[in-house]
Chains A and B, each alone.
Chain A
Amino acid sequence: GESVGLHLPTLSVQEGDNSIINCAYSNSASDYFIWYKQESGKGPQFIIDIRSNMDKRQGQRVTVLLNKTVKHLSLQIAATQPGDSAVYFCAEKLNTGTASKLTFGTGTRLQVTL
C-alpha cells in the first residue's frame, strides 16, 4: 500500500534511546486523548489514552503527558526499538455528549536508527 503522509515532520532516534513525540491539540473542551501508531500500509493502532482529568498515564514502555494549560500532549517511548518506526498521531475528543467524534492530528514519523 502507498505511504500516507510523505511530508510529515520526522523524528530520528537511535535504538535504545528514549523518544518524545509532541502534539498540540486544538480545543480546550476536549476531554479525552488518544495516541495511535501507524505502520506503512496498515491501519492506525491504539497505543494509549488519557482523560483530561489526568496529567500522566503510563503503559508498557510508553507514557503520555497532558498539559492542559498549553493544550499539549506528548508521547514518550522508552528504549526505542526498530519496531517502533512508524507514524504517530494524536486524537482528541470533544465532550459533545453524542457519539464520540475524534479529531486527528497529521502525525510525526519516528525513524529508529541502528
Chain B
Amino acid sequence: DAGITQSPRHKVTETGTPVTLRCHQTENHRYMYWYRQDPGHGLRLIHYSYGVKDTDKGEVSDGYSVSRSKTEDFLLTLESATSSQTSVYFCAIRPGTGNTIYFGEGSWLTVV
C-alpha cells in the first residue's frame, strides 16, 4: 500500500464537461504523477509534479491540466472531456530516495 487514494474510482461523464480527478497521498512524497492506461499502450505519463506548485508536462498532456497546492494532493483536470479521454487514470508517487514509482488503484473514466 503506497498510501495513495484516488477519487472518484469510477465516473461516467458527457463530452464537453469538465472533470477533476483527485490523488491524495499520506506520506509526504515530493514526486507525484498522473498516467493513463489504454489497451495496446503502456502506461503513458500525462503530467507530473516535483513539489507544491511545481508541475511539468508528460508525453500525452494535451487536454489535461494539473494543480498541486498542497503536498498531499495532486489534481488532474480535463477542461472539456472528449471520448478519446476515456481511459483508466493512475496516480503514482516516487519516494525521493529511489527510482521506483508506486501506483494508486486507478480511476475509471468513461466519456460518452
- Do A and B assemble together? yes
What residue of chain A has the Cβ atom nearest to residue B96's Cβ? A99
In chain B, what residue has the closest Cβ to A2? B108
Query: Which of B13-21, B35-43, B75-83 sits within the interface?
Result: B35-43
Partner of B102, one of A2, A7, A46, A93: A46
Query: Is there an interface contact between A100 and B42, defined as CB atoms closer than 8 Å?
Result: no
In the assembled complex, how far is the CB of residue A105 from the closest CB belonging to chain B, in whole angstroms?
Answer: 5
Proximity string of chain A (26-61) to chain B, C-beta cutoff 8 Å, 1 when within and 0 when not: 000000101010000111111001000000000000
CB contact between B31 and one of A36, A43, A93, A99 (< 8 Å): that residue: A99
- Residue among B10, B31, B42 making CB contact with A89, cutoff 8 Å: B42
- Chain A interface: which size bin? 20 to 34
A32–B104 Cα gap in the complex (Å)?
21
CB-based contact A1/B108 at 8 Å: yes
Q: Known contacts A4-B88, A104-B43; is A42 also within 8 Å of B106 by CB?
A: yes
Please indicate the chain B residues that have their CB under 8 angstroms from the CB of A44 in the complex: 43, 90, 103
Q: Could you say which residues of chain A place their CB within 8 Å of the CB of B101?
A: 100, 102
Bound-state Cα–Cα, A12 to B44, Å? 27
Interface residues of A (CB under 8 A from B): 1-2, 4-7, 32, 34, 36, 41-46, 49, 89, 91, 93, 99-107
